[in-house]
Structure 1
Amino acid sequence: MTVWIDAAAGASGDMLLGALVGAGVPLAALQDAVDAVAPEPVTLRVEEVRRGALAATRVHVDVTESHHHRTWRDVRSMLTGHELALTVFERLAVAEAAVHGTTPDEVHFHEVGALDAIADIVGVCAGFEHLGATEVTVSPVAVGSGTVETAHGTLPVPPPAVAELLRGVPTFAGPVAMELCTPTGAALLTTLATAYGPQPPMVVNRIGVGAGGRDPEGHANVLRLFRGLEASTSGSERPVLLECNVDDLDPRVWPAVLTALLETGAADAWLTPILMKKGRPAHTLSVLVDAGHAAVVRTEIFRQTTTIGLREQPLTKHALDREMLPIQVDGHTIAVKLARHEGVVVNAQPEYDDVARAAASLRRPVNEVLTEAQDLCRAFLGTGS
């Protein structure tokens, strides 16, 4: 089982719990694990909510009021036999000791030692054990900015313990001025992760969207979890470039040729005007295709054009993570394609066909509607949402 965690909007224990339940982990499996260690009654409760424009799953941790501040020794005795959860708490203890100048055994966990945090950590660890995840890749983590109120007073974001836990991990500030990654979230991510980066090659079969407790304006406070099977990047999955020079085809035929190649399985196809020997005008046909579809596309090139030979070369392709989100222009929905680099939106473009349909319905010039849509798209740039 391969898992990718999208922490571009931050991370916390309850967000991870919600993402696990949303991705198909039974709530009973998490509750049973918590019941086995909790010294006082703890109940996990699921609520379907919205964060920004996204539907998400929130897991509430209902506990009786408790002011018990447990030490690492206390927690360690509670979690005997729960190795993954012990590792998470040990990581927390070491980080807290480092920032406060003490030893792990003397650390009083305060917030993270409360019953709800114990439930978060034990529940999340049980959820990942239920998934049987062998590879867990975590995106760059949004930590937020500004300040946060803690048991130690007002602290900068990221708080010292979070900064310590995320040493050596790809992180970034923002996208809003608030604490986005909690110490519990940071400890869980760094314990579970086998790698960091964008979504790896995988066949996704379930997606869980876990909600944080807050719902700030303009920011979808969620963590996404993709689960599935590893997809091989060797052999038939490698992209190849097919090319040929054509100087004896009626130019009016080319649009139909490009359409046919895309319908046959090409990822992209385009023309470049060139000048051949003896001054003959011509075109270079370039076709990008996965190696597994190359044979079919080669046949279609020979069938659709006058070429009698092809050049072929393997490529290495780097693609940004992409996602479609809707915007509204004068009451009409227009899809926007977002492209992310290391979790941050670097490109946001409205779909032209949607713009043209909206312009026709509104009886406005296409260029005017396009400009308005592009202005709205700028709000996405530089964000993780």
Structure 2
Amino acid sequence: MNTLHAWIDASSGVAGDMLLGALLDAGAHLDAVRSAIETVIPESIHISTSTVHRAGLRALKAHVRPLTQQPPHRTARSIHALLHNSALAEPVRAQAIAVFARLAAAEAHVHDIPQENVHFHEIGALDSIADVVGVCAALHDLGIQSISAGDVALGSGHVRTAHGHLPVPAPAVAELARGWPVYAGGTGELTTPTGLALIRTLALTCEDLPPITPTAIGIGAGTRDTPNAPNITRVIIGQPTQNPSRPTEPCLLLEANIDDLDPRLWPGILSHLLHAGASDAWLTPILMKKGRPAHTLHTLCPPHLATGLKTIIFHETSTLGIRQTTVTKHPLERFITTVDLHGTTIDIKVATAAGRITQANPEFDQIAELARARGLPERTVLAEAVQTAADEGLMVGHLLPPEHRPGPSD
């Protein structure tokens, strides 16, 4: 199964609306973004786009306009509640919650107050909630599965904020920049707290443009048009070009030992983690100190989703801590093809090595649904699907049939 990677070029700076404009320019649907924002702050924001020029370059400007003149200053706790209680798709919700958690942590450090009591001021206004939710929804709509970014230009000089006349980078931006390569890159505020929090939360790593085959390029515009320095953020989207000698993927393994949770809750928790983007989630029975029976919850995930998944684990289980380990995943080349079974399309998950099939498994949820519809045992329908796939050459050890080879967009 081919994946899509997005690389963010913030060499001229980044803000929430600039990154949103770049993703819309790269093909994200405006209606999908609007719908996501409406589920969080209904009838509060109007979003439109227009083509503009920045230092002579074409770019897309995302206009995020609050429909109220006095948007409320919200706390980190109230924003978390808004997002948690919304009808957002689970990966979008988890990412948006993680972005605001990072923003809250930076502001809490800057002002030396508890994180849950942070008042967001500018970044808590309706337009910034729309920026964060909009960016996460656009990434979901585009099918982006991994993200990285380059060095970030922060700017120089001074900027006016709710806290007064502050030097650039503003304190929250400087705090968010910890551990990420940054430089001035020009005059004025080039990067906002929202823009940098999005990169720090969602990006897997800081790197130059990685080996990919580009499929879409988006350019988002900032408000100002400065000569000789285009006020833009770029996104380059494409399929990673694998190095045959290193077909590996970096992953994180999150683990927690839990001995005081009602076992009936586990199926829902595992399902929630998988829907939020975990590569896998499972339980191991263990015996803890004092002879207590317990479970270890294991969650395997891409690094850019770890913050959101940890939020889910802390919220839905009774654990007091999570262990995090960096691991390396060695995936086989894999994709999904289909076969027809009694007029129903069944997905076949295929894995290959050196052009030969190593796995060819029907999607069991579809098998179960077809079995119910036909009034047959699941094992009967499963055997029929396996045989149908074999009849089309999808058998372990066989060369992959040409008609089932993935195309460029699979």
Unaligned runs of 5+ in 1: 236-385
State the partner residue of 1:196: 206
Work out whether residues 211 and 241 of structure 2, in 8 Å CA contact, stay in contact via their aligned partners in 1. yes
Question: Which whole-Å deviations, capped at 9, do the CAs of 1:175-210 have from their partners, x for residues lacking one?
Answer: x21000100001101111001111000000110000
Question: Once the two structures are superposed, what CA deviation does each residue of 1:195-253 show, in whole Å capped at 9, x if it has no partner?
Answer: 11110000001100000111122210000000110112336xxxxxxxxxxxxxxxxxx
CA drift of 1:148 comes to 0.6
Alpha-carbon distance, 1:40 to partner? 4.3
Q: Which residue of 2 aligns with 1:43?
A: 46
Structure 2: distance between partners of 1:234 and 1:145:
43
Q: Which residue does 1:261 correspond to in 2?
A: none
SS at 1:196 equivalent? coil
Q: Could you tell me the percent identity over the aligned residues?
A: 47
Q: Quote the residue 2:345 is aligned against.
A: none
What letter matches 1:66 in structure 2? Q
Residue 183, structure 1, aligned to residue 193, structure 2: yes
Q: Counterpart of 1:128?
A: 139
Choose which of 70, 77, 86 in structure 2 pairs with 1:73. Answer: 77
| Alignment: residue pair count | 236
SS of equivalent to 1:24: coil
Among candidates 181, 197, 220, match of residue 230 of structure 2: 220
Partner SS for 1:36: helix
Matches within 5 A, 1:287-306: none
Cα distance per residue 1:277-329 (max 9 Å; x no partner):
xxxxxxxxxxxxxxxxxxxxxxxxxxxxxxxxxxxxxxxxxxxxxxxxxxxxx
Q: Residue 138 of structure 1: which of 135, 138, 149 is its match? A: 149
CA distance in 1, matches of 2:242, 2:133: 33
SS in 2 for 1:195: coil
**1:135, 1:223 → 2: CA distance?**
18
- Correspondence for 1:304: none
Q: TM-score when scaled to structure 2?
A: 0.56
In 2, the alpha carbon distance for the partners of 1:90 and 1:43 equals 25
Aligned to 2:162: 151
Distance across 2 between alignment mates of 1:46 and 1:29: 14
Q: What 5-or-longer segments of structure 2 have no aligned partner?
A: 86-92, 246-410
Do residues 173 (structure 1) and 196 (structure 2) align? no
How far apart are the structure 2 equivalents of 1:37 and 1:135?
25
Work out which of the two has the higher radius of gyration on C-alpha atoms and give 1 or 2: 1
Contact 2:44–2:126 (CA<8 Å) still a contact in 1?
no
Out of 95, 98, 105, the residue aligned to residue 84 of structure 1 is 95
Offset at residue 131 of structure 1 (A): 2.2
- Residue 282 of structure 1 is matched in structure 2 by none
1:46 Cα shift? 0.6
Consecutive aligned runs of 4 or more in structure 1 exceeding 3 Å deviation: none
In the alignment, the residues of structure 2 paired with residue 62 and residue 12 of structure 1 have an alpha-carbon distance, to the nearest angstrom, of 15
Q: Give 1:106 shift.
A: 1.2
Aligned to 2:305: none
TM-score by length of 1: 0.60
Instruction: Output one character per residue of 1:321-359: Cα deviation in whole Å (capped at 9) or x when no partner.
Output: xxxxxxxxxxxxxxxxxxxxxxxxxxxxxxxxxxxxxxx
**Partners of 1:40 and 1:230 in 2: how far apart?**
39
State the Cα distance separating 1:73 from its structure 2 match.
Answer: 1.3
Matched, 1:55 2:58: yes
